[in-house]
A and B are shown apart, each in its own frame.
Chain A
């Protein structure tokens, strides 16, 4: 019997050796992205994961695309003032910026052969108004959509909106095939949403081949009317472990690794075949936020004491890898946004913080609850803060919360003291500040600090419909100053988009929605 086992082991070993062969490396025209998340529901009207957005923006087209330019650092970046024709070959904006007329291309087919025309645009815009995660934005904005002729369409807005082209140049406004959606899912909106969650028929440069929770395969649409690079096949692979993403890009099994671990930055930078890209984040700032309606944060001196107690440099170094990858934030807006003003300039000053706590009447110390959303390096930040606050007589009780509980408490206005980040999906500073500081956003839509200042509301309302870019910037600057006076938020760092890319991948343009437009990219 023992010899039987010995034989089995020898036989198995031979079998394994026979099967092991040189593992084929990736072909030049195939691009593999190792993502830290999964695609999941790919309905463009939902946009739950960035993985799904990568799929949408490449399978569907929008009416207009985003233009690019060279940044002063030498890499390609979005030119936020210009747009390129996509399904619309030209467009006209009325003087009051509330009517947009689009002349559509006449030579476009969907991937299944259906002809594209104005009916598809009307169907999509009407669906956007009815339902979906960002539907409210379009619902409140779009008044009516009129078909002038099969290839001309007019969109009338309820108010002037200079950002409309930007809003419709990303995944939320991907143009759907009316005929296919109606054929496959009927007229019931719930069924349509379910069908769109795992199916996609677009006019875009890539065709969806397969979709699973850990991988998405797309192939080039050779009949695409627009520009198409040399990448024939795209694989989006979910690789949850950052260490696996690192070794796979080093071995050349993947071309792009999103969100590398902070511990791997150095090694990736030293690798001659890989470039570690550090690009502007999608308007995202990481901040501490205090609920102004809760004790003791209703006391301004306590908020100020905490602003002095935060060890900004230590937090950025330990939790985000240092200033190079996470520059310190001086506002709720990131420095590249229009209207940015570096208003928040508190420095680490424990003595001053201690004095303020005493002055506020808490000489014997006080206890504060910190509601910790356990994600990424947030727990590290909370621990550092806990240590620092102890030195000024504040006992920080950290209460860990799972994401569902955290968001529920946030929406109910019950969070006390948190670390969080916020972003706007088209990097619109007005939208971002409205979410975080307008009284109408208390508490469901992001103003969890519960800042309610009439002047802030007025300035934001005015900025939303202000067409003059200088005046708009002035309004935003005043909002930032007013918010800074409240000290409801303590901005920590500007979150950058960091990814590792093999050097044989060329022509990557970093757009503010942080989505890859694979048809613009090439592989050597």
Chain B
């Protein structure tokens, strides 16, 4: 199939996914027991106040009208108003998405680099010490709860050793208002663009622990998958053929073998990235990270419909786009793949 036609087809498919997601998110929040108007007000609020709030939220109208209004607003770029934070949902997403994006990209990058490297090293040193070490290390990453590792890391690196700053979010507590100096709200990138090395240092130190802890569990899975894939590929005749023809060992392993072993890893990474984009609540809670995941969870606690709906639609969009990118990357890695 023509490359462009394929992308076009997938984007058309995206529209249906988004309609489905909007319907699902719309109804799912409404079948959950609880009255959002009641949750928006303190317990002492009178029934009249609750009724007034219900009208203000548009909850007195039939479902189909509420849904129509919702879709109409989305098409006009309005995701609604987040009552528990007192701001429009879109504005909240703009503030929180860069925080999640920065954390996700760096965590995935670290997990990919170390995971693939460790996986390959384990495969070529099968059943040797390094392989056993990698196995134990990976099991630790998969089985230990992330919030626990996060708390331990804070305890040692901040509290005991004092090497890293307090878990106060993206920057030091008393950093001057950075909103005025940021461009993309991805602080590392902004620091580079504006040449603000103080901001870079500050943001980098705050990223170190959450990125390391978050990447650990993903790293472990990537490592195991890479090792399995590599062992399979390394047994093939063409690998021996390269070796006997004098191609260097490193080139055979890191270019020819890895390229063939990495496809399942790539799929897995696509899934990880989409998951990371949605924010990882435990890491955001432990490190006080103002990301999109915690925002979504807080919205559920307050039964704040618009952010929950917006979050589900955003996540669906993220999953579909990441999967599309992964599928396209297959073609780059393996020219035999056609759509």
Contact = CB atoms under 8 A, between A and B. Distances in A.
Interface of A: 1-2, 5, 8, 16, 19-21, 23-24, 26-27, 30, 32, 38, 40-43, 46-48, 131-136, 190, 194, 197-198, 209-210, 212-215, 217, 233, 235, 237-241, 243-244, 247-248, 250-251, 253-254, 402-405, 407-409, 411, 422, 424-425, 435, 444-446
A198 B87 CA distance: 7
Contact of B34 (A212, A214, A250, A407): A407
Contacts of B32: 402, 404-405
Contacts, number: 177
Given A425-B42, A446-B44, 10 more contacts: A133-B41, A136-B46, A198-B85, A210-B177, A213-B92, A213-B294, A214-B288, A238-B288, A244-B288, A425-B44
Contacts of A213: 85, 92, 96, 290, 294-295, 298
A142 to B, nearest CB: 15
B152 to A, nearest CB: 11
Interface of B: 32-36, 38-50, 52, 56, 81, 83-87, 92, 95-96, 113, 117, 121, 151, 154-155, 158-159, 162-169, 172-174, 177, 179, 201, 204-205, 208, 250, 253-254, 285-286, 288, 290, 294-295, 298, 301, 303
17 contacts: A1-B250, A5-B117, A23-B166, A40-B84, A194-B81, A198-B85, A210-B179, A214-B290, A239-B167, A240-B288, A247-B158, A251-B162, A253-B173, A254-B173, A407-B35, A435-B44, A445-B47
Nearest to B163: A20
B60 to A, nearest CB: 15
Given A48-B42, A198-B86, A240-B285, A27 B174 contact: yes
Nearest to B197: A19
A444 B205 CA distance: 50
A32 B151 contact: no
B301 A403 contact: yes
A19 B204 contact: yes
A455 B174 CA distance: 57
Contacts of A254: 166, 173
Contact of A251 (B159, B172, B288): B159
Contact of B172 (A24, A42, A134): A24
Nearest to A197: B86
Contacts of B295: 213
B159 A405 contact: no
B208 to A, nearest CB: 7
Nearest to B290: A214
- Specify which of B43, B46, B158, B288 lies most central, judged by the most chain A CB atoms within 10 Å of its CB: B43
Contacts of B294: 213
A43 B85 CA distance: 10
Given A19-B201, A446-B43, A411 B35 contact: yes
Contacts of A38: 85, 298
A248 B288 CA distance: 12
B290 A212 contact: yes
A405 B92 CA distance: 26
B285 A241 contact: yes
Contact of A48 (B52, B84, B95): B84
A254 B169 CA distance: 14
A253 B206 CA distance: 14
A41 B173 CA distance: 21
B173 A235 contact: yes
A335 B154 CA distance: 41
Closest 3 CB pairs of A and B: A404-B34, A197-B86, A41-B86
A444 B44 CA distance: 8
- Specify which of A131, A214, A250, A411 lies most central, judged by the most chain B CB atoms within 10 Å of its CB: A214
A375 to B, nearest CB: 10
B87 A197 contact: yes
A364 to B, nearest CB: 33
Contacts of A215: 168-169, 173
A32 B169 CA distance: 14
Contact of B85 (A41, A241, A409): A41
A435 B81 CA distance: 31
B42 A136 contact: no
Contacts of B121: 2
A235 B288 CA distance: 14
A1 B167 contact: no
B123 to A, nearest CB: 13
Contacts of A404: 32-36, 38-39, 303
Contact of A40 (B49, B85, B168): B85
Given A248-B166, A253-B166, A16 B208 contact: yes
B35 A136 contact: no
B49 A43 contact: no
A48 B40 contact: yes
Contacts of B254: 1
A466 B323 CA distance: 70
Given A210-B179, A407-B35, A47 B288 contact: no
Contacts of A48: 40-42, 84
Contacts of A32: 173-174
Contacts of A21: 201
Contacts of B95: 212
A23 B172 contact: yes
Nearest to B83: A41
A339 B125 CA distance: 79
Contacts of B117: 5
B288 A237 contact: yes
A244 B205 contact: no
Nearest to B157: A20
A32 B173 CA distance: 8
A235 B174 contact: yes
